[in-house]
Copies of this chain bind each other. A is one copy, B any other.
Amino acid sequence: MTDTLTEATAAEGIADFVEFRMDGADRPLDALGEYEGALPLVVSNRPEWAGGTAGESERLETLAAAAAFDAVEMVDVELRTIRECEWLRDELRGHDVELIVSHYDRRETPQKSELNRIISECNTYGDVAKLVVFAEEKTDSLSLLQSFNAASERGVRVTGYALGDIGRHTRVIGVFYGASIAYAPVVSDERGPNDIDLRKLSNLLDWVASAR
């Protein structure tokens, strides 16, 4: 994950994709036009209620425009947004991109039945369901792993992790239980408190792959 595409080359040879947080960049569409990196991109453009700054219509138009760039292979949109925005669904379908539909709960981990419901709803709109929750108890992390496992067993592509100290290991072990994408910051000094360094994540995922 990165806010400036000039840093994206740091992930080459380690990551499979770079996520470009457009809401963290000054001129995100210019940055996409100038991008010459080897890695395909996932783009997201978070709304105000998730840390972004752009007005809502500008935000969505910018995100839709990003989908037209050759380097952009996946677009990440919040469940709340895609549920209400039919034109954006239509617009993204017209491009050769995959759609990650994401749901964040930064306060808690919902009950298992609710986790399953959210994943199913994300899946009705997109190609990959992304679920990020806050783990207060170890049972919360286990619930998330179970929901990943159940989804992947019924053929639903899923990703995400649990926030908080207790959730940190789910960024790695989630992949064993069916998460199809693992997340790390491209440059470590922009790490959140529970991010795992990209190279370390890569090494840990090698171990998980060998354990499968």
Report which A residues bind B (CB closer than 8 A). 138-139, 142, 145-146, 149, 153, 165-166, 168-169, 173, 176-178, 200, 204, 207-208, 211-212
Contacts and interface: CB of A to CB of B under 8 A. Distances in A.
B208 A169 contact: yes
Given A142-B142, A142-B146, A142-B149, A165 B211 contact: yes
Copy count, this protein chain: 2
B165 A212 contact: yes
Name A's interface SS. helix
Contacts of A166: 212
Given A142-B177, A165-B212, 15 more contacts: A138-B153, A138-B178, A139-B146, A139-B149, A142-B146, A165-B211, A166-B212, A168-B211, A169-B173, A169-B176, A169-B208, A169-B211, A173-B173, A200-B207, A204-B207
